[in-house]
Amino acid sequence: MLKSNREAEDLKLELRGVYNNMDSIQRQNTLDSIMGKRDTIILSYREDLLEQKVWKEIDASFGKAIANAYLNLDGSIQRQNILDSIARVSSKTRMERRYSMFVSAIKDKPVHYVLNLIPQDDQTLQVDTSKLAFNLFYFDKDYKGGLYVYCKDGQYSYQDDRYRTFSRQLGVNAPKVFRKIMQKQPKYLLYCSELEGMNTILYMLNNKIYVYRIIQMKEYELDDYIKKFWIIK
């Protein structure tokens, strides 16, 4: 997550033209200042940042302030500190906006933890034991949207406001499948991307694990699924 944030800030500075005349040391120092102690930052929920008009004005003001500070940068420590300070506040505000948007999206919604499974061999799945071993699903009342937060290899991967698919039929069937499964009140929802990617969702009920193939609208006990389709890689 820290790496992706650093790359994002690097790109934003470059697109603004802030990097145009910086040498490699200046670039490194600027990014180190922006990203420094990122893991200790405490973010606050800010409702004002949810408004697009307000955010555009804030974003534009940061861009202008950074550009002006850079144009007047003559290598002095004082002016460098000014640039670093603006960049730090800008970076934190961006993070607070993303954080506020996330909190707003999940507020007052029931969360479903979807545990990740990974192949142990070509016939066996095991529980993912990495740091972030689960996804978060927030269904709306019709199961047609909500929020889906995915983690992979122990790290945050991405999120979407619908069950992201590359198949029209999968997108049409997914809400129906989730509704059917949740009506059964499963003990756990499970997911394994190595099966058929987004086309399969797993769940545990009465100490048995089932695999639901979404496009086909058919479900199988896990052992039967493996014997029939042999899809685990």
pLDDT tens for 19-48 read: 455 555 665 565 555 555 445 678 889 999
Percentage above 70 pLDDT, the chain: 80
First to last CA, the chain: 27
Q: Which residues contact 19 (CB under 8 A, 6 or more apart)?
A: 13, 27
In tens, the pLDDT along 194-214 reads 899 899 999 999 999 999 999
Cα(148)–Cα(188) distance, rounded to whole angstroms?
16
Q: What is the mean pLDDT of the chain?
A: 82
pLDDT tier for residue 2 given thresholds of 50, 70 and 90:
very low
Q: Which residues contact 202 (CB under 8 A, 6 or more apart)?
A: 117, 189, 190, 191, 192, 195, 209, 210, 211, 212, 222
pLDDT at position 180, please?
96
Cα(203)–Cα(181) distance, rounded to whole angstroms?
8
pLDDT tier for residue 103 given thresholds of 50, 70 and 90:
confident
In tens, the pLDDT along 63-77 reads 888 788 777 766 677
Instruction: Using the predicted structure, report yes or no on whether residue 12 has a pLDDT greater than 50.
Output: no
Residues in the chain: 233
Tokens of 95: 């993070």
Residue boundaries of the structural domains of the chain: 2-106, 112-229
Pairing status of strand 188-191 against strand 200-205? antiparallel
pLDDT tier for residue 186 given thresholds of 50, 70 and 90:
very high
pLDDT at position 159, please?
85
For residue 178, count CB atoms less than 10 angstroms from its CB and return exposed for 0-12, middle for 13-18, buried for 19 or more. Answer: buried
pLDDT at position 232, please?
57
Instruction: Using the predicted structure, report yes or no on whether residue 59 has a pLDDT greater than 80.
Output: yes
- Helix or strand or coil: residue 62? helix
